[in-house]
Amino acid sequence: MKTGMRNILLAASLALTTGPALAADPVEITVQRFFGTCDADWGTNTDISKAIGECGIITSQINKFAADNPDIKVNVNTVEWPGYDQLTAQLASGEPPDLVTIHESVLSDYQSKGLLQPLDEVLKSAGVDPAGFTAAGREGVTKDGQIFGLPIDSHTMLWHINMNYFRKAGLVNADGTLILPKTADELLAQAKQFKEKVGKPYLVQSMANEKGAFYRAMYIYLTQMKSDFFADPTHLKLNTPEAKKIVQLFKDIYDQDLTTKDQDYAASLSGFTKGDGGVLLNGTWVVGDFDALSKAQGNALSDGYTVYPYPPVFGGTPAYWSDGHSWALTKKDRSPEQTAAIQKFLKFMADTNFEWARTGHLPAQQAVIDSAQFKALPHVTTILDIAATAKPLPAQVRHQFAVNDIIGEEVAAAIMGQKEIDAALADAETRVNDLLAN
């Protein structure tokens, strides 16, 4: 009897000590993202619909997922945009995160080295059907016939417009609609008119040590002019009459003081919101922030913000450079529980794709694009066509971020008069082709 009682007590004490420990151990996954930090504003928010901007929405999405899944511990690494140097180092050292935000233009760099895990089976088990992705999203994450990312958006560059200034400059029709230039000469004429009437530069640009806006503008206009600058994905052809026309236009704008100068990326953003000029050249990712600002009173954009695709001032057919953000899964050993947690996370991200579209990006789920809810979002109607005309660089172009940096650097030097246009385009060609050849 004594022995039986002892056994019961022993079993009970074992159950008390090990039971709660097993139940309390959540499965851990690590997700790594860019899009900035905003913990002060959204660090504890789980109502995604209340969040604004890329950082606010993705922070709230992850918070909501963690709150809904107490059995999963989500460790979040927030990296400085774009974070690929860090990711490369993590992969080289064998300590990568599980899931990582990645541009579709960069996926090939890691996928071709066997560092990412195909997602076909993972998505299938999670109940996410790649057939539901937009064509751009599906194309962006498909490599060698397999899916290597969950696409979450397509994005491009836009003209963010201060309508209050455009009205003052007389650049609106009688019905209040915007007058946009149709040719390069019209653009210069309107910019001069704007400066005379408003006393501010027409364009607000990030020019100080910023490469992004320049290569994107080049891609947009070169594509519209049907210049086959990457007809061969291993060879850039940039020293062309079409490219010269584009650089010359931006140089004329610069030389005639029709743009802000010397602002870096952050300064150009805050400058536009303070009323430094008429048109900010920036991406889809700031539409949500500016729209929220325009609905508040007491700032330069109050009741006066709209957004348009780049006007096709060199003729041709509308076509816009695009890229996409996606979630990729790194290749490493995982427990079945971790894989299940990752499936849940990806399903949640796919299911909340509408919330991400409120940033201004075009969603990657076709059902969201087709929904009345999405079409009712501010400014969607003016940029929706981009979903059909978006043109990413060919996926076979390797190291696209490095290629873009070189083109951006050389074009910036030409626009700011630090180099002859011909020399800059020739140097961009040489440097990019050396990179691609090695």
Partner 1 sequence: MRSATAHQSDLKNGIFVTPFLLVFSCLLVIPLLWGAWLSLTKADLFGPGKFVGLANYSRLFADKVFLGSIVNTLYFVLLTVPAFAVCGLALALALNRQTRFATVMRAIFFASSVLSVTVVTLIWRIVFIPDIGLLSNIFGWLGLPQVAFLSSPKLAMPAIAIATLWWGIGLPMMLFLAALQQIPGEIYEAAALDNAKRWKTLWHITLPAIRRTFVLVLIVQCVLQFQLFGQAQLMTQGGPNNASRPVVLYVYEVAFRRFDVGMGAATSQVLFALILMAALVQYVVARRKEESR
Q: Is 429 in the site for partner 1 (CB under 8 A)?
A: no
d(CA 322, CA 158): 11
CB of 402 to partner 1, least distance (A): 5
CA dihedral of residues 210, 216, 222, 223 (deg, nearest 10): 170
CB of 177 to partner 1, least distance (A): 33
Four-residue CA torsion sign, 89, 94, 98, 103: positive
Nearer CB in complex with partner 1: 11/89: 89
Choices 130-138, 203-211, 347-355, 375-383 (CB under 8 A): range interacting with partner 1: 203-211
CB of 209 to partner 1, least distance (A): 5
Nearer CB in complex with partner 1: 115/319: 115
Binding residue for partner 1 (CB under 8 A) from 179, 197, 416, 433? 416
Q: How far is CA 363 from CA 34, 374, 384, 411, 418, in A?
A: 18, 9, 10, 31, 40
Q: Is 422 in the site for partner 1 (CB under 8 A)?
A: no
Size of the site for partner 1 (CB under 8 A): 35
For partner 1, the binding residues in 47-86 under the rule CB under 8 A are 84-85
- Write down the residue that tokens 């993202």 correspond to: 33
Q: Is 207 in the site for partner 1 (CB under 8 A)?
A: yes
Q: Is 399 in the site for partner 1 (CB under 8 A)?
A: yes
What is the maximum span of the chain, computed from C-alpha positions, in angstroms? 102
Contact 433, 236 (CB under 8 A): yes
Choices 106-114, 161-169, 293-301, 357-365 (CB under 8 A): range interacting with partner 1: 106-114
How are beta strands 72-78 and 27-33 bridged, if at all?
parallel
d(CA 378, CA 358): 9
- Write down the residue that tokens 């937009």 correspond to: 134
Q: Is 39 in the site for partner 1 (CB under 8 A)?
A: no
101 sits in which H/E element: strand 99-103
Residue 212 CB contacts under 8 Å (≥ 6 apart), including other chains: 206, 265, 404, 408
Binding residue for partner 1 (CB under 8 A) from 13, 18, 209, 373? 209
Say if residue 362 is exposed, middle or buried (CB neighbours under 10 Å; 0-12, 13-18, 19+). Answer: buried
Binding residue for partner 1 (CB under 8 A) from 38, 52, 236, 412? 412
Between CA 15 and CA 19, with CA 18 as vertex, the angle to 5 degrees is 65
Q: Is 396 in the site for partner 1 (CB under 8 A)?
A: no
Binding residue for partner 1 (CB under 8 A) from 79, 115, 203, 246? 115
CB of 81 to partner 1, least distance (A): 13
Q: Is 413 in the site for partner 1 (CB under 8 A)?
A: yes
Nearer CB in complex with partner 1: 179/402: 402
d(CA 200, CA 276): 6
Nearer CB in complex with partner 1: 167/251: 251
For partner 1, the binding residues in 224-283 under the rule CB under 8 A are 261-264, 267, 271
Nearer CB in complex with partner 1: 55/91: 91
Q: What is the 3 state secondary structure string of 137-157? A: HHHHHEECCEECCEECEEECE
Nearer CB in complex with partner 1: 89/189: 89
Q: Is 143 in the site for partner 1 (CB under 8 A)?
A: no
d(CA 168, CA 186): 18
d(CA 79, CA 99): 13
Q: What residues line the site for partner 1 (CB under 8 A)?
A: 84-85, 88-89, 91-92, 109, 113-115, 207-209, 211, 261-264, 267, 271, 399, 401-402, 405, 409, 412-413, 416, 418-419, 427, 431, 434-435, 438
